[in-house]
Amino acid sequence: MINITQLRALAQQCIHHTDLTHYIWVTTESELSRKMPNLKVSEFPMLIVVTPSFDVNAKDTDNVRDIATLLFFVLKYGRFQSENEGNQISDMDQTLNITSVIKNYLINGFPDNPDCELINGIIPHSFHIDPEFNYLGCNGWSMSFQIST
């Protein structure tokens, strides 16, 4: 299983190698909705890391492994008072570029930590990326993926 220290270290690697400057860790999406009003607009775009859920996969008793499903959000605080299509396109493009960089590092490794044990367990075909519009007042993308531990 992935412990919170490993998860936070992974988030810090993502921040270090992207245009992001902040991340927060939340245990659930409902906790994120409680934290959102206290975040500063200047902290966005931001990486939000949700505590993973776990399944157990086993072909037999000799081949048991944990499968963690991770959920990341790359969000930019929305400008909904003056929302126009240009702002939305800009926000979605910026956050998609960051999401893509993170996905590529997760699949191919980080330059200063290519043998990261955690990302070596990522299941490449498990990535799922969805647009998020006006999610808790933000635009951006969510990315889920699985890691075998």
Q: Tell me: the pLDDT tens digits for 16-36? A: 889 898 999 999 888 999 998
Tokens found for residue 12: 């810090």
Please answer whether residues 101 and 93 qualify as being in contact, where contact means their C-beta atoms are separated by less than 8 angstroms: no
pLDDT in tens, 74-114: 999 865 555 677 778 888 999 999 999 999 988 887 777 65
In the structure, what pLDDT confidence band is assigned to residue 62 with cuts at 50, 70 and 90? low
CA 84 and chain centroid, separation: 26
What CATH number is given to the structural domain containing 88? 3.30.70.1700
Contacts of 88 by beta carbon, 8 Å cutoff, 6+ apart: 133, 139
> The whole model's pTM is what?
0.85
Domain of 28 in residue numbering reads as 4-148
Picking from 144, 149, 130, the residue whose alpha carbon sits closest to that of residue 51 is 144
